[in-house]
Structure 1
Amino acid sequence: MSKPDSRPLDCPSAQAGAKDARVYGVRTGTPEAPRVGYLTETLPVSEELLALSGPARPTEVFRIAAPCATSGCKHFKANACTLVQRIVEGLAPVVNALPACQIRSTCRWFSQEGRNACLRCPQVITDKPNATAEEKRIADDV
């Protein structure tokens, strides 16, 4: 019998300054239809890496994972991530197969919502300056 994974779950939409943050994706696509290109390995967040975002905020360019803050996060209620619940309910899938994601084994969204989260994940940009009213509602539950 294998030992269950005891690693903490990761937030797949973390901020660059989070402890143990690492980049696992980069924004691709167009401004109207952004997508995440998943890296073949995660990269620890560093000042040099963040500088590659140029004048944009790093979270406009990179998808960053870090240990889930649980009760320290505004989206965490009743032992669940309400952000991924809103994403699954409010956004249509943008891919038909699971993306090649390096954090899936520790991803809170996948752990909680499974495949439904992964099929929507490539369209999620942590900080999206041109977000629609619906995207803002999903992101902030307003």
Structure 2
Amino acid sequence: MATQPEILCPSAFPEWDGARLFAVVGGTPERPETAYLDQLQPVTPELLELAGPVAPIEVFRFAAPCAERACQQFDGSTGRCQLARKTARIAPVVVHKLPRCGIRANCRWWLQEGPSACKRCPQVATLNYAPSEAIRHAADPARPLDEVGTTAPLGT
């Protein structure tokens, strides 16, 4: 009997069980740009030290098994990640062509929201001190999706 593939959260923290590095965040705090790695990397103390004087979650993106009901972003009644849902609907599209991604096949956001999430994912930084209003809203589990209007166009 085949087992279900592990569903990964693309907005994980390095200390989570099973966490692996899958992307590096560049750009600026106002306009983060994610570069995806070809292969997932294990989280090691040496890797975390590469972040330099900033927190690793400012410059790295980690994937880890989705915590589902143990996560404040997960809606147990629908079985869906609200961070993925809101990001896919209110964050601006930043790429038209889906970026290469080492976790897509098992990514919670991809499995739940499809290309809509991937076209917005490159602007996501797990820790961002200057997020756009759309990203701030998407990340706030207390704010429902219906509090905002339509999504912004490419590059805004």
Normalised by the size of structure 2, how large is the TM-score? 0.84
Aligned-CA RMSD value: 1.5
CA distance in 2, matches of 1:17, 1:98: 28
Q: Secondary structure at the match of 2:53?
A: coil
CA distance in 2, matches of 1:49, 1:16: 10
Q: Return the match for 1:56 from 33, 41, 54.
A: 54
Alpha-carbon distance, 1:5 to partner: 6.7
Q: Secondary structure at the match of 1:12?
A: strand
1:87 paired with 2:87, answer yes
Q: Corresponding residue for 2:152?
A: none
CA deviations on 1:5-58 (whole Å, 9 max, x unpaired) are 721200000011000100010012233211100111110111110111112111
Is the CA contact 2:29–2:129 (under 8 Å) kept in the aligned structure 1?
no
Q: Corresponding residue for 2:148?
A: none
Q: Corresponding residue for 2:71?
A: 73
Q: Corresponding residue for 1:119?
A: 119
Gapped regions of structure 2 (runs ≥ 5): 144-156
CA distance in 2, matches of 1:89, 1:25: 22
Percent identity between matched residues is 42
CA distance in 1, matches of 2:112, 2:135: 21
CA deviations on 1:70-113 (whole Å, 9 max, x unpaired) are 00000100200000111011112111111110000100000000
Q: Secondary structure at the match of 1:38?
A: strand
Taking the TM superposition and a 5 Å limit, the aligned residue runs for 1:5-24 are 6-24=4-22
Alpha-carbon distance, 1:114 to partner: 0.5
CA distance in 2, matches of 1:92, 1:133: 10
> How many residue pairs were aligned?
140
Alpha-carbon distance, 1:131 to partner: 2.0
CA distance in 2, matches of 1:24, 1:123: 14
Letter in 1 for 2:118: C
Moved more, 129-138 or 54-63: 129-138
CA distance in 1, matches of 2:3, 2:33: 30
Is the CA contact 2:95–2:119 (under 8 Å) kept in the aligned structure 1?
yes
Taking the TM superposition and a 5 Å limit, the aligned residue runs for 1:94-109 are 94-109=94-109
- Residues 92 and 5 of structure 1, relative CA distance in 2, 3 Å threshold: farther
CA distance in 2, matches of 1:114, 1:134: 19
